[in-house]
Amino acid sequence: MDVVDLSDFVQLFGRPKRRGMTSPTATLESETKPRDVSSSSSSITLPLPACAPTASNDLEKMATNKSAELGSTQPMGQAVTALDWTGPDDPDNPENWPAGKKAFHIAYIGLQCFVVYAKHHVLSPPLTSHRTFGSSVYTPAIASIVETFDVSPTAATLPLTVYVLGLALGPAISAPISETHGRRIVYLTLFPIALLFTLGAGLAKSFATLMVCRFLAGTIGSGGLAVGAGTNSDLFPPLTRAPVASVFLLAPFAGPALGPVAGSYLVQFKSWRWTQYITLMIGLVAVILGFFQKETYKKIILAQRAKRLNLPPPPNPMASMTAAQKAKFVLTVTIARPVIMLLTEPIVAFLAIYTAFNFGVLFCFFAAFPIVFESRYPEVQAYHFTQGESGLVFLGIGVGILLAAIIFIISDKTYYQPRARKEIESNGKDPRSLLLAPENRVLPAVIGSVLLPIGLFWFAWTAKSSVHWIVPVLASIFFGAGNLLVFFTAVMYQLDSYGPMMGASAMAANGILRYVFGAVFPLFSRQMYLAMGAGWATSLLGFVTVALMPVPWILFKYGAKIRSKSKYAMFSREYD
């Protein structure tokens, strides 16, 4: 789940109240009516929490006020209209779809995210990488690109860098499309266009063409990543969303594990161009499956219902905005506000730094593995794997990612859900609109903060010829699990802390810094490992993760107090 569409989370929470709580298990109830947790009105797609003053207040107030005038007041069981669901059991509400149908939609988004990210790593294992199939499949091909285009190894990593920058910029395109036309059109249009640029990268006759195609493939292809979290929110209520989110986020993180495996063998037996072709082939499967997708965005479903039944259409606040106002709103929410929050909100800043650095370390691992396990660099290599065999060691990270998802789900079932049930039973809270205090989300990150340095120091001082190769590979399991556990927590903690609108901006800020780190780390990681050796280079990264280790512990202990001083958090007072 990377940069999020600003409307993605608004629907399920409505307009939250600002108030303090009495304990870390206290609850936040939305002002939305229990019968409809998607939104308080079908037209409230751009609400602004009362405690969040921003440069775009006027635009958001315009949208909210207009929605309030036309808000949904139909009682449960009333005849079908285009203003709201008919009740909690409305069959058009995606939350009421059969489990199999929901699973198909989530699996499809996961496949699309997997392709986009693996496209980055399949092209580069010998030197570096990022995090999904489209991004990681590039990693093994860097050495071949050096020979094909007669460029330096550092220059050969630039297609990797521009791809990541494209992923950062993409949501500025996909967010307004999703808001105006729905989720489905983003999946069906932007992703196929990105695949065409992937084909262009594979056919590139010049290095400049490769750079341009990679940048556009990342920019346009990131649409699915940006609105995927919104689809997840459309399908599942807040209390049951976290386990599904872990599965959804697992797919893009699986790219770094599988992309280099495929890329290494493709480069060894074919050519670097096949790293793009294999991505295209898998992507075509996703394109075909996309035609079986249904729209999940409430506003669009209600508009389609109105057209089908010849009813008055639901109100659309953005329809009254001028083009300049729409552009200002999009730029504010996707760029300006995230940057402001990154610079002024301690929670956003520290979680962004923590997750971004972990992603940077992942890039360095993609540089370290080929150096350590292949015989390409005799001054630091410890083993004598072929290029294809060196790609297989990335599966250790894949096992760690799978382990993280399991830990996160177990934590939700054994720690978060019991506290939620207690609140429901003792205080009569509505489970469809209940949220616990954000500190109840921190446990997975506490575990991850311990696993990260263990994995790094373990790898640093066992990656040597006198130690069996499986030992450093096992270390990567700990790193992969710790990395994803911290990211899971960052997503859920910020959404619970800042609410739908500000939470989306907080995650956008997180994504900006992660992509910056992802774009920069490949440019120096190879040189660092060759100069310092695997032991000290990895230890240096380990020392930084030790320094960042207190972040989740501080949030658990002092998170409420920090939020009490925030302009954007949903709570004006700290928890008692």
- The pLDDT of 118-135, averaged and rounded, is 48
Residue type, 540: L
CA-angle at 145, arms to 143 and 146, nearest 5°: 65
- The pLDDT of 248-273, averaged and rounded, is 71
Domain that holds residue 477: 10-17+90-309+325-564
Do 112 and 229 meet the contact criterion of CB atoms below 8 Å apart?
no
Do 359 and 513 meet the contact criterion of CB atoms below 8 Å apart?
no
The pair phi, psi for residue 28, each rounded to 5°, is -115, 120
504 domain residue, yes or no: yes
pLDDT in tens, 210-247: 999 999 998 898 877 778 877 888 898 877 878 887 87
391 domain residue, yes or no: yes
Identity of the highest mean pLDDT range in 52-56, 236-240, 371-375:
236-240
pLDDT-based confidence at residue 55 (cuts at 50, 70, 90): very low
Do 216 and 374 meet the contact criterion of CB atoms below 8 Å apart?
no
pLDDT in tens, 532-572: 988 999 999 999 999 999 999 999 999 989 998 898 887 53
185 domain residue, yes or no: yes
573 domain residue, yes or no: no
Which CATH number goes with the domain that contains 243?
1.20.1250.20
> Which of 272-286, 366-380, 509-523, 544-558 bottoms out in mean pLDDT, i.e. has the lowest?
366-380
pLDDT in tens, 415-462: 988 988 888 877 776 666 667 889 999 999 999 999 999 999 999 999
CA–CA dist 7, 179 (Å, integer): 7
571 domain residue, yes or no: no
CA–CA dist 447, 305 (Å, integer): 46
CA-angle at 133, arms to 177 and 145, nearest 5°: 110
Do 347 and 562 meet the contact criterion of CB atoms below 8 Å apart?
yes
Domain count of the fold of the chain: 1
CA–CA dist 339, 506 (Å, integer): 9
> Would strands 27-29 and 434-436 be described as parallel, antiparallel, or unpaired?
antiparallel
DSSP-assigned beta bridge partners for residue 385? 374
The 3-class secondary structure across 355-372, one letter per residue, is HHHHHHHHHHHHHHHHHH
137 domain residue, yes or no: yes
- The pLDDT of 383-397, averaged and rounded, is 80
438 domain residue, yes or no: yes
CA–CA dist 495, 511 (Å, integer): 14
458 domain residue, yes or no: yes
Is the pTM for the entire model greater than 0.85?
no
